[in-house]
Amino acid sequence: MSFGTMEQTAPVNSAAPRNARVRLIVTVGSVLVILASIVAIVLVVAKPAKSDGAALADQRAAASSAANALVQGQYTFDKSMLQGSTMPAFRAKVEAVVTPKYDVTFQLLASKVEAVVQAAGLKSTIAIWSTGVAAISSDRATVLVVGAYTQWLPKTKGGTDYRSAGEVPFRDVLSLVNVNGKWLVDNQAPAEGMPPTAPPAASATSGASK
């Protein structure tokens, strides 16, 4: 009696391909994570960071701009700004760049200016010659503004033709504080060696009565 040859077939291990696929997926995921990290690092390194010098220059420019805005605002006005007996636009320009402390001083000046503009038609223009930052830190700055303002009075009462009441040079030192990232004027005074510059309304009062 003969027996046929019996062939043994090895059992198929279905877990092996599955494990291989898992390992492949994990490997690819790891590579992608690594690549993403490399890209992020390259982007951070490649992005130009603002240097301390550039940041300081920005702060100096912002402080100078606020100082100029104050001086420009308080020495620029005419009767076209009147609304009744006040000049809201005149006040608003200055109020936007001063601290509450300095605003108290400005409101007194504004009342005088408005009274003379209403009574005599006073007009004032200004030329800023130079602006320089004398000192600056993260929260305080001192700015020097040099220029001259010119006052004008109507040749006839209520007229539109003006005569100059004279040019008045000034050199003002402005102290500023940084409030929530914005520079505001906290004080204003004539520079040492220069006589105090009279407020526009005060110096024009005598001329308005002529």
Tell me whether residue 15 is in a domain: no
Write out pLDDT tens, residues 109-125.
Answer: 999 999 999 999 999 99
The stretch 198-202 carries a mean pLDDT of 50
Tell me whether residue 152 is in a domain: yes
Number of CB atoms found within 10 A of residue 111's CB = 13
The whole domain housing 177 covers 55-204
Tell me whether residue 85 is in a domain: yes
pLDDT cut 90: percent of the chain above it: 59
Q: Going by C-beta distance under 8 Å and a sequence separation of 6 or more, which residues neighbour residue 138?
A: 178
Tell me whether residue 161 is in a domain: yes
Write out pLDDT tens, residues 143-181.
Answer: 999 999 999 999 888 788 889 988 999 999 999 999 999
Q: What does the pLDDT read at residue 75? A: 95
Tell me whether residue 3 is in a domain: no
Domain tally for the chain?
1
Tell me whether residue 29 is in a domain: no
Residue whose entry in the numeric block shows the structure tokens 């940084």? 178
Q: What does the pLDDT read at residue 23? A: 59
Tell me whether residue 37 is in a domain: no
Q: Going by C-beta distance under 8 Å and a sequence separation of 6 or more, which residues neighbour residue 164?
A: 150, 151, 152
Domain harbouring 89, CATH code = 3.10.450.50
Tell me whether residue 182 is in a domain: yes
Number of CB atoms found within 10 A of residue 180's CB = 5
